[in-house]
Amino acid sequence: MLQGLNIDKGHFFRELTIRICSSLDIAKALHSCFLFLKDIMPVEKLVLITYESKIGTINIEAIADYEKGYSRDIKVPIPTQLQHELEIVKDLQRIRYIKDISKDPFIFGIADILGFIDLQAIVTHFILEGRYMGAFIIVLKTPIQDFTNYLELLESINEPVAIALNNCKQFKELLMLKDALSEERNYLRNELKKAAKIELIGADFGLRKVMERVNQVARLTSPVLIYGETGTGKEIISQIIHNLSPRSDGPFIKLNCGAIPDTLIDSELFGHEKGAFTGAISQKKGRFERADKGTIFLDEISELPPNAQVRLLRVLQEKEFERVGGTHPIKVDVRIISATNRDLNELVKKGLFREDLYFRLNVFPIHIPPLRERKGDIPALVHHFIVKKFKEMALPDIPVLEKGAIETLLEYDWPGNVRELENVVERAIILSKGRPIDFKDILKTGSESKKQLSDFNANIFPTLEEVEKEHIITALKAAKGKVEGKDGAANLLGINPGTLRHRMRKLSIPFGRKAPNQE
């Protein structure tokens, strides 16, 4: 017991520590401290402040009185000299009794704002790891004649209150960061919605039927399979479906299945546990886990290897999966939108794509017509791309078209679709050097393009798949039909055996027992 006070110092320390650390809501914790202190000393108010060295202010964080605790966010500038005194912590008087608040340079500005100029106070400065954190101000309603015992009691609480102050600052920073991220997310989502609306040229013309189907399925949870040639805008349609769905507030996660090596596709889709394989130095969430409560867009779904097809089928059927190296199933609520430029039905017949997965994905197919089948959209698309490139290239004036330029574009078949049209417009703007845009020197049109195509076919130029197939067969012959191992075809080609088998299935190259003698 302290002389003159009916309280044990150890009990005081424990009780005040428990109360100040009882809640991340610092106002609530401060009120709990007030209810304890009012039975020990003539306390009128408690004020908790923090110090911001970067901007030279004292921040009033919370106030407590008989009724409750109040959160505050009031910044009080302090003189440079006082800033220096607070930062030289070794010379700072940790605790003091102030008989006249109006004459104290540290507390006067705070007292003036909060309206307790005519009162007394005990100020306890808190230091944590050699850094000044802030102060605990006990505003007294009556003077204390013998304040020594009170100061001795309050000296013991430096560390717990300093930790509480630090937690308070960090918690506020986290809340601010959360709010900022939420605002940024909302902004980016709105920008994506705007972009999708702006770039979908032809919604009322060439893509009218597509938009009818989009509107039919968008508000449901059914899987959607988007067919279309390269460059037709499959990703944009998938984004619009997501934006129009009840999941629009959730994530929209994209993955190009053809851009991920076979050995990494499982980890990319479903994540992995620490130590699951060489290089897995930490746990990683996959695209499906990140897409929970939202939508995942799987582009080039036809490129998905067989093992990943099996796991994707499980997600569709059971709404759960396991991370690579994991043992516990993870439940997810994800809508799947997939896209392809190939005929999945033909791939199923050839044994290159699972039939059961195909039926699961193909619940609601949407076909996007190529640009050659909706040439009526070309004028609007050209205008859109001209304005877009004008902004991107920071041109002094919006480019104008030469007379007959649109007719030139209408005669072309556009094998690269909308993407090719955008590139052609950009190239024409660069070549125009400020003059009206003309496409005659860029495109071979009409009979000229047909003759060029005929001459090209006459040369019997092999496709990339034909070249790849011939190259793999040559490697297999050199390896005497062996796929893996030191003398195997995979080693000769410098690729993973699993990747080679996947490519062989896709190219209909038999191997194993089905393979003829390669010698």
Give the DSSP per-residue string, 84-109: HHHH-GGG---EEEES-GGG-TTTHH
Q: How deeply is 126 buried, as exposed, middle or buried, from its count of CB atoms within 10 A (0-12, 13-18, 19+)?
A: buried
Alpha-carbon distance values, 208 to 212, 222, 323, 367, 460 (Å): 6, 21, 41, 12, 39
Alpha-carbon distance values, 2 to 49, 161, 222, 258 (Å): 28, 21, 73, 76
pLDDT for the residue 61:
86
Tell me if residue 133 falls in helix, strand or coil: strand
Largest CA distance in the chain: 110
14-19: long-range contacts, CB 8 A cutoff, minimum separation 24: 16/157, 16/160, 16/161, 17/157, 17/160
Give the residue among 56, 47, 51, 150 at the shortest CA–CA distance from 95.
Answer: 150
Q: Which residue in this structure is represented by tokens 């909308």?
A: 418
Query: What's the CA gap between 296 and 287, in Å, rounded?
Result: 8
pLDDT for the residue 355:
92
- 80's CB contacts (< 8 A; 6+ apart) are 56
Q: Which residue in this structure is represented by tokens 């629009």?
A: 248
Contact present, 334 and 316 (Cβ < 8 Å): no
Q: How deeply is 303 buried, as exposed, middle or buried, from its count of CB atoms within 10 A (0-12, 13-18, 19+)?
A: buried
pLDDT for the residue 300:
92
- 342's CB contacts (< 8 A; 6+ apart) are 302
Q: How deeply is 63 buried, as exposed, middle or buried, from its count of CB atoms within 10 A (0-12, 13-18, 19+)?
A: buried
- 128's CB contacts (< 8 A; 6+ apart) are 159, 162, 163, 165, 166
From first to last of its 519 residues, what are the pLDDT tens digits of the chain? 544 566 778 888 888 888 888 887 888 888 999 999 888 888 999 998 888 877 788 888 889 999 998 888 788 888 888 888 888 877 788 888 888 887 888 888 888 888 777 788 888 888 877 888 888 889 888 888 778 878 887 877 777 777 777 777 777 778 767 766 776 666 566 655 555 454 567 666 778 899 899 999 999 999 999 999 988 889 989 999 998 999 988 889 999 988 888 888 888 888 888 777 776 677 788 889 888 899 999 999 998 888 889 989 999 988 888 888 887 888 999 999 999 999 999 999 988 899 999 999 999 999 999 999 988 888 888 888 888 888 888 888 888 888 888 888 888 888 888 889 999 999 988 888 878 888 887 876 444 444 544 454 445 567 778 888 888 888 888 888 888 888 888 888 888 887 888 788 888 887 765 555 544
Contact present, 87 and 132 (Cβ < 8 Å): yes
pLDDT for the residue 238:
92
pLDDT for the residue 455:
52
pLDDT for the residue 513:
57
- 184's CB contacts (< 8 A; 6+ apart) are none
Contact present, 6 and 102 (Cβ < 8 Å): no
pLDDT for the residue 365:
94
